[in-house]
Amino acid sequence: MTRFVRPLLASVALCGLLSPPAHAELDVARLKQTIEASFESEYPKLDALYKDIHAHPEVAYQEVKTAAKLAAEMRAIGFEVTEHVGKTGLVAIYRNGDGPTIMVRTELDALPMEEKTGLPYASRDKQIWQGRETFVAHSCGHDIHMASWVGTAKTLVGIKDQWHGTLMFIAQPAEEEVTGAKAMIDDGLFTRFPKPDAGFALHDGSGAYGSVTYRVGVGSSNVDGLFIRFVGRGGHGAIPQATIDPVMMASRFVVDVQSVISRKRTRPNSASSLSARSTPAPPATSFPTRPG
Ligand SMILES: [Zn+2]
């Protein structure tokens, strides 16, 4: 988890919160030292929080205990927390004078699948999902994101004399079902609460260990589901030419549609994208296609 808290913290602290006068006097080396010290002292607690969340995952819109844990953490840090935004979502606000409003986001939900890692803190929890009981697991890394989110909040509040502005930490439900962000927006995320000037989020990924890649704008693709019915026409096996085979039709359709996507020229992302090792970021089209 260590490699996630640091970049999120550094991004928010350096890119967003430092007001122009403070920025002019910014002592990056000292700030880094302060962040490192805070991180080291908080790490055991953050690690325990991560393991607790990992062991007790909850699927979309059932993240009740998870949200309550985060709400308690954020209140203890000094944030003003509003629960049940977009069903199970959270908005935590920390005001620290005039300055930009910076949003930092985590997800809350887990996946309906069995964990087979054998870890001492592996999930054995079950929930009802789509009408059936299923094991639940944090297989997408949202447990890491949540612990990093709390660690970022804690450290930023610890160095509040070095920045001015408003922190808007949000915890989004149902990221795996994609609908959670819209649920929060429909519930007044940007009308009931300050409208952010910038937003940060992180996601664990398939990059090399020890490297961090960042991107402005869209960072990964999304998945939508759709049902298409192919209607064929039955007939005698001796005269297949008189039938319409829906399996062939559907197979051809998949290949055709995929060809359109893979052969379509995409505009390169104009936004900057760097990694900690200065390796070039992959083009937008090469990002993994699974959700979140
Ligand atoms: Zn995810």
Please write the tens of the pLDDT for every residue from 199-220: 999 898 888 888 888 889 888 7
Domain limits for position 165? 2-204
pLDDT value of residue 10 = 53
- Residues 254, 249: Cα–Cα separation, whole Å: 9
Task: Give per-residue pLDDT as tens, 55-65.
Answer: 999 999 999 99
Does residue 271 fall inside a structural domain? no
pLDDT value of residue 220 = 78
Q: Kindly report the CATH number assigned to the domain that includes residue 102.
A: 3.40.630.10
Q: For residue 139, how far is its CA from the centre of ligand 1 (angstroms)? A: 8
Q: For residue 104, how far is its CA from the centre of ligand 1 (angstroms)? A: 15
Task: Give per-residue pLDDT as tens, 99-122.
Answer: 999 999 999 999 999 999 999 999
Does residue 120 fall inside a structural domain? yes
Burial state string for 216-233 with b = 16 or more CB within 10 A and e = fewer than 16: eeebeeeeeeeeeeeeee
Does residue 214 fall inside a structural domain? no
Does residue 59 fall inside a structural domain? yes
Task: Give per-residue pLDDT as tens, 122-174.
Answer: 999 999 999 999 999 999 999 999 999 999 999 999 999 989 999 999 999 99
- Selection from 255, 272, 90 nearest residue 172 by Cα: 90
pLDDT value of residue 267 = 62
Residue that is written with structure tokens 């944090």 in the block: 138
Q: For residue 54, how far is its CA from the centre of ligand 1 (angstroms)? A: 14
Please tell me which residue, 216 or 261, carries the higher pLDDT value.
216
Do residues 222 and 180 lie in contact, with contact meaning Cβ atoms separated by under 8 Å? no
Query: How many structural domains compose the chain?
Result: 1
Instruction: Return residues with CB closer than 5 A to ligand 1 (ion).
Output: 140, 292
Show the tokens assigned to 158: 């610890």
Does residue 102 fall inside a structural domain? yes
Does residue 23 fall inside a structural domain? yes
Measure the CA angle with vertex 11, ends 5 and 16; round to 5°. 135
Does residue 167 fall inside a structural domain? yes
Show the tokens assigned to 73: 């953490």
Do residues 81 and 90 lie in contact, with contact meaning Cβ atoms separated by under 8 Å? yes
- Residues 168, 199: Cα–Cα separation, whole Å: 9
Q: For residue 119, how far is its CA from the centre of ligand 1 (angstroms)? A: 20
